[in-house]
Chain A
Amino acid sequence: EPEVTQTPSHQVTQMGQEVILRCVPISNHLYFYWYRQILGQKVEFLVSFYNNEISEKSEIFDDQFSVERPDGSNFTLKIRSTKLEDSAMYFCASSETRGEANYGYTFGSGTRLTVV
């Protein structure tokens, strides 16, 4: 079964450092997403990306965050200057369709980011 692949599975970084989280979405999917889950809490939407641009973003996705699809397969989330409160599991997801007929996302296994 096709899957969304995320690397690394765990990243530890010092406060103030930049991190890049990487994702390889399912190959025929056109819509890409990042979510995060702070330990013990619910999954929260960060950003959606389609046709090489951000289509929707949440209040969490401030100027410290950026996304990119540098080539035909990777989708990255960059945090410019990490803060302690950025520690969370970050999930990438992709979907084939959007809008009211969205047939569900496929989530990756996540990257656990620990900021120290």
Chain B
Amino acid sequence: GQQLNQSPQSMFIQEGEDVSMNCTSSSIFNTWLWYKQEPGEGPVLLIALYKAGELTSNGRLTAQFGITRKDSFLNISASIPSDVGIYFCAGQPSTVTQGGSEKLVFGKGTKLTVNP
């Protein structure tokens, strides 16, 4: 159905390393969003993707919207300690009747730990 499979579940890396995480689904999504959540806070939008094949950067972050509209990845280059947190992919499902749903479907998150 409209589930997002996010991997990996967790990552432990050294400061300076690059990070890659991805989300896949069997359903088509109109929009892919990547959020970061820190303890006790709400999700904060990092990157939004609106077109299949779109590649977008935000500083050290790069994300792509897959051609099939069923997947997306997020890369973080040269990680720093403040990158620590949980990263969620989220998608806006495509629906036959409405063209697009308003809700966001979230992945289960990737917990990132950066060792200085």
Instruction: Identify the A interface with B (CB < 8 A).
Output: 4, 31, 33, 35, 41-45, 48, 50, 55-56, 58, 91, 93, 98-110
8 Å CB contact of B102 from A41, A43, A102, A109: A102
Chain A CB within 10 Å, residue with most, of B30, B42, B43: B42
Q: Which residues of A contact B19 (CB under 8 A)?
A: none
Q: Decide if B109 touches A42 in the complex (CB within 8 Å).
A: yes
Q: Decide if A45 touches B40 in the complex (CB within 8 Å).
A: no
Q: Decide if B45 touches A105 in the complex (CB within 8 Å).
A: yes
Q: Decide if B102 touches A100 in the complex (CB within 8 Å).
A: no
Q: How far in angstroms is the closest Cβ of chain A from B19? A: 20
Given A42-B88, A100-B30, A102-B92, are A110 and B103 also a contact pair (CB < 8 Å)? no
Q: Which residues of A contact B30 (CB under 8 A)?
A: 100
User: Could you pull out 5 A-B pairs where Cβ atoms are within 8 angstroms?
Assistant: A33-B103, A45-B103, A100-B50, A100-B100, A107-B35
Q: Decide if B33 touches A104 in the complex (CB within 8 Å).
A: yes
8 Å CB contact of B42 from A101, A103, A104, A109: A109
Q: Decide if A91 touches B42 in the complex (CB within 8 Å).
A: yes
Chain B 39-69 per-residue mask, 1 if CB under 8 angstroms from chain A, else 0: 0111111001010000000000000000000
B4 nearest in chain A by CB position: A42
